[in-house]
Chains A and B, each alone.
Chain A
Amino acid sequence: MSIEVRDLTKRYGEQLALNKISFQISKGAIVGFLGPNGAGKSTTMKILTGFIPQTAGVAKVAGFDTVEAPIEVKRRVGYLPESNPLYKDMYVKEYLHYVATIFQLPNPIAKVNEMIAMTGLAKEQDKKIHQLSKGYKQRVGIAQAIIHNPEVLILDEPTSGLDPNQLDEIRKLILKIGKEKTVLLSTHIMQEVEAMCDRVIIINKGGIVADNLTSNMRKMGIKEAIVVVEFSNKINLDELKKISNVQRIEQGNTNDYKLFLKDSNLDIRHEIFQMAVSHGWSILAMQMEERDLEGVFKELTNK
């Protein structure tokens, strides 16, 4: 296990920031850590990187306990904190070289050049950090996090505030790095998790509300399935109601209908087609309505 968290609790004075959360992340996985602001994402990450200790529970990274062996943990973790703090008055190269000396890497100059090539900073390497655009600053932030070849990479909102092009580039970079490392990244954008992660852990008010494979994400929290069908003419609504498992039907503006089913695992498209054929209705369009990800997110975190 690259990351192991058991009954992790963190209290800031009276406020309970994390309430007995547990999860495990195996080596090589990219996991999305999702939740609204103030849910406890950053707190969990700060504990995993050894910045602050937990109030109770156990956190292990790369096999080392974050409280008992913080130095060992810190050697094996690459961390990009929220809002990507960098020394703005340093040159890109100078900064990365400083990070390399912090980790006491042999041959730091070669390592810095390798990172610059890997993160696509070649053109910007002789600039001061404050001169860079936000996208390039983010690349510097990622470069400093992976320079010591850590086993685990913890990225706190790595894509917040980027424009769509930068977003795409940073996501590609994270995916490239993620092939060899365990990555835990936090975000509050569902699409991002879908684009990058194998697994998603959704956290709300200090507790885990969902932990599932990304492919199952759209089904999470869904209680009913919806089929939308559009006909060329007006049809007899009562006939449609005869199909089994249909709970209710909503009629749209034109000849389109929404059929609500009891169970999210049901599919009645075949039955609808058969009925249309037998009544001579022509179907213009028909689809199972996919729940939008924002809806899932809202449902899970609005309790």
Chain B
Amino acid sequence: MNDDYQAQSPEVAARFAKLRQRPVILDVKNLTKTFVSQGLEHTTLDRISFQVYRREFMCVLGPSGCGKSTLIRIIAGLDSPTSGEVLLDGHQVSGPGPDRGMVFQGYTLFPWLTVKKNVMFGLRMAGQGAATAESEAREWISLVGLSKFENSYPHQLSGGMKQRVAIARALANRPRILLMDEPFGALDAQTRAQMQSYLLEIWKNVDVTILFITHDLDEAVYLSDRILVLGTNPRRISEMIEDPVPRPRDRSQFVSPPFLATYHRLGELIHPPAADVQDRLPITRMTMVGDDVE
């Protein structure tokens, strides 16, 4: 059972063979991040190395506190590593830039700009004229299905709509890679499922590579080509899993054997079985009719 997730159907194996042929877009080399707090040195990331191929969809999965947000922030250039380097198309990254679009977990649309002006923001920063930026922004807004709301302000949109605008805004800059830091984490389960399908649609139609952070196992298996699992102790890569679920994906695959095998393996990596016993709570019995519940 444990090895099932490594068994790939011929089509899936062929997909991965093709994927590995593609050029490397993002090359993370020996990334280490430490910080000092109360005189003690803490390691957030310990010698992390991996590569992302062009047009790949990679999920970074890990328990909370494993440093996945730090990792993506370093790649975005918002934080700097203690040692190691990040190469984008072979060039070292220093500081944030429009070649790495980012979608944050919190809503970061500019509240004073309409949807259209939000999407135009990056284009205007790049020096485009108002007219071209506007027509280009309109295309991206229609790509995420929000044309009716182009003149609305962010506070008039629902959470899912806001994140769709944020995706359009990041994509409008034509980034080499789209970094997504738990972008659907604040959404309810239904909207979240819808957003996952939207994202796969968008990824299929737009030439972009995606690095997606999540702590949700389903989400990782549903979206990924490969899943990078980070551990907490040590803070290194636990495993790089090739997702065996064939594409195109749909929600009926959630009960298919490759999906379940991968899900099971991720569960083992993220919640080691021993933790279950340690976490038992010292609850005294406080009910007389509790015998029926189990």
Say whether A associates with B: no
Chain A interface residues (CB < 8 Å from chain B):
none
